[in-house]
Amino acid sequence: MLRATYNWCLRDRIDGWYQQFLCGDYCDLRTQIEITPLTCGITKGTQLANPWKDGGGKAKKEGDKDQSPKRSASLMQDANLQELKDSRPWYQTIDIGVLQSMPARVNESFSKFFNGAGFPKFKRRHDFKSFSYKPGRVKVKGNKIYLPKIGWMRFYNSRSIPDGFEIKTVTVRQKADGWYVSIRIENKTVPDFPVISDSEIKTITGCDLGLGKLVYLSDGSSIDNPRFATNKKAKRLMRIRQRRVSRKQKRSKNRSKDQLRVSKLHNKIQQRRESYQWDVAKRILKRSDAVAVEDLQVGNMMKRCQPVKSETGRFLSNGQSAKRGLNRSIADASWYSLTQKLEYLAVKSGKKLYRVNPQYTSQTCSKCQHVDKNSRNGEKFICINCGHIDDANLQAARNVKVKAIETYGLNIVKIIKSKMVRRDSSEPVQLSLFEAKLYERSSDINTLPLKGKRRVGENPEYKQLSIWDI
């Protein structure tokens, strides 16, 4: 019912938008009524009725220019919800706050669209799996939660609510392995997260995201990429479960059971990836005061290859079959999700995350700053100008760090680590090749085979022999 309400609100908004630009003898898309002053709305959204706020079309305060007495499209749809509940009694089983959140979700979708996101889409059955309660409607006592129109229910309380916090928005979400409740709490007495200025940053770590290793750091270390969805074991298990689904009869209960098993496997992979990325983000932020990453457009990196046609019009190989495996690896690494976690933890811990332009970071030499794409050969980097040799990804991480320092004008103190030497250690002595022992073994000399003058009893200390003595 919530999905139907959302789709109705979306269709109503779309019809109201296109209705303003109609050409013809009618101005209503649904009824195609002819234009008359009584049926055609002059103000945008007036086909929803109740176009004005309470007060007879006047502002609540005289001289208040910021507050318009006209209702928005979302508020006009809210005003029609009571009529919806009266005409359809089964809607009485839904909490009014949950029902009012549907026009708000449609309004938020249009706001994102006008800010550059995609056009809002109608929700299918499997695309609509969450709903929210307004503040003050939900109660929590121990391991029980009260949801309006549903009642008290037991749930796994993974984290108790601290004293002094009040419950705000509560979101109920359905996943493959069950139902989850997300509780948003607030305490106005708690101070905000500490904010660090650019002048206070003394150390910074550059990060280069990859596939062989998940993260390459500017200090020369790297973090492994477990490949939760693309490793051999996971791919085999997923292939077996998907094969079982395809062999079942459509719309049968056994097919639904196997589809649920596939969904649970996807959910398990996602949970393992999320847990690992949180751990990786914490490990990276512990190293320095700030972190620099590339501002990657992952969606553009995963786009399909452009088709290639021959002179006769036939489609030629464009490398899409090979790029398909690369796209799967990029999706499994989930770079954007990792950068979001880095940004959240950086704000929470009083640190900063800098995003830099990824252009030429893997083609620039960190020693002489020479830029040439021929310097990189796969995972190797050999500068054609100065001959510097390094790993290409570690080289890119150092360039990300340098670019962040130059772009944001950071005052970074270079720390040179000195090697610690014991005071009672002797002075190092330079040994030549002929003074070093060629062979060392803790076992007895008699256990060695007696072959050649190098291992006979006359040469017990394994001295270097001349070629003429052999």
pLDDT in tens, 37-46: 555 554 444 4
Q: Of 94, 121, 148, which one is at a domain's C-terminal end?
A: 121
SS3 content of the chain, % helix, strand, coil (to 5): 35, 15, 45
Q: Is the domain of 262 the same as that of 221?
A: yes
Listed in sequence order, the DSSP H helices in 175-294 are 232-246, 253-285
Task: Report if residue 446 sits inside a domain.
Answer: no
Q: Is the domain of 63 the same as that of 85?
A: yes
Largest CA distance in the chain: 121
Q: Is the domain of 269 the same as that of 404?
A: yes
Report how many domains make up the chain. 3
Q: Tell me the CB-side half-sphere exposure of residue 234, using CA atoms within 13 A.
A: 18
Q: Is the domain of 104 the same as that of 138?
A: no
User: What CATH number is given to the structural domain containing 264?
Assistant: 3.30.420
Distance CA 64, CA 75 (A): 20
pTM as predicted: 0.77
- For helices 335-348 and 253-285, what crossing angle results, to 10°? 50
Please classify residue 64 by burial: count the beta carbons closer than 10 Å to its beta carbon, then call 0-12 exposed, 13-18 middle and 19+ buried. exposed
Distance CA 256, CA 219 (A): 50
Q: Is the domain of 107 the same as that of 216?
A: no
Task: Report if residue 26 sits inside a domain.
Answer: yes
CA distances from 451 to 155, 434, 459 (A): 77, 22, 12
For residue 236, give the H/E element and its range: helix 232-246
Mean pLDDT of 211-236: 94
Q: Is the domain of 134 the same as that of 163?
A: yes
pLDDT in tens, 336-371: 999 999 999 999 999 999 999 999 999 999 889 899
Range of the domain at 232: 198-408
Q: Of 121, 148, 177, which one is at a domain's C-terminal end?
A: 121
Lowest-confidence segment of 125-139, 223-237, 322-336, 453-467 by average pLDDT: 453-467
**Contact between residue 48 and residue 106 where contact means Cβ atoms under 8 Å apart:** no
The candidate with the shortest Cα–Cα distance to 376, out of 198, 188, 208, is 208
Distance CA 321, CA 318 (A): 8
pLDDT in tens, 58-82: 444 445 555 556 667 788 888 888 8
Task: Give pLDDT, residue 29.
Answer: 57
Task: State the DSSP code for 302.
Answer: T
Structure token pair of residue 266: 């996807």
Q: What percent of the chain has pLDDT over 90?
A: 52
Task: Report if residue 414 sits inside a domain.
Answer: no
**Contact between residue 370 and residue 386 where contact means Cβ atoms under 8 Å apart:** yes
One-letter amino acid for residue 97 of the chain: G
The candidate with the shortest Cα–Cα distance to 461, out of 427, 429, 432, 436, is 436
Structure token pair of residue 446: 């008699």
Q: What percent of the chain has pLDDT over 70?
A: 76
Q: Is the domain of 183 the same as that of 207?
A: no
In terms of C-beta distances under 8 Å and separation of at least 24 residues, what long-range contacts does 368-372 make, across chains too?
Answer: none
Distance CA 260, CA 266 (A): 10
Task: Report if residue 431 sits inside a domain.
Answer: no
Q: Of 75, 90, 121, which one is at a domain's C-terminal end?
A: 121
Q: Is the domain of 261 the same as that of 391?
A: yes
Please give the radius of gyration of the chain, using alpha carbons only, rounded to the nearest integer. 34
pLDDT in tens, 171-202: 999 999 899 999 999 999 988 888 888 888 99
Task: Report if residue 270 sits inside a domain.
Answer: yes
Q: Is the domain of 286 the same as that of 171?
A: no
Distance CA 438, CA 345 (A): 54
**Phi, psi (rounded to 5 degrees) for 402:** -65, -40
Edge-to-edge order in the sheet of strand 290-294: 222-224, 213-217, 204-209, 290-294, 352-356
Q: Is the domain of 232 the same as that of 345?
A: yes
Torsion of CA 254, 260, 261, 264, to 10 degrees: -170
Q: Is the domain of 248 the same as that of 320?
A: yes
Task: Report if residue 216 sits inside a domain.
Answer: yes
pLDDT in tens, 100-119: 999 999 999 998 998 988 99
Q: Is the domain of 216 the same as that of 279?
A: yes
Task: Report if residue 451 sits inside a domain.
Answer: no
Task: Report if residue 358 sits inside a domain.
Answer: yes
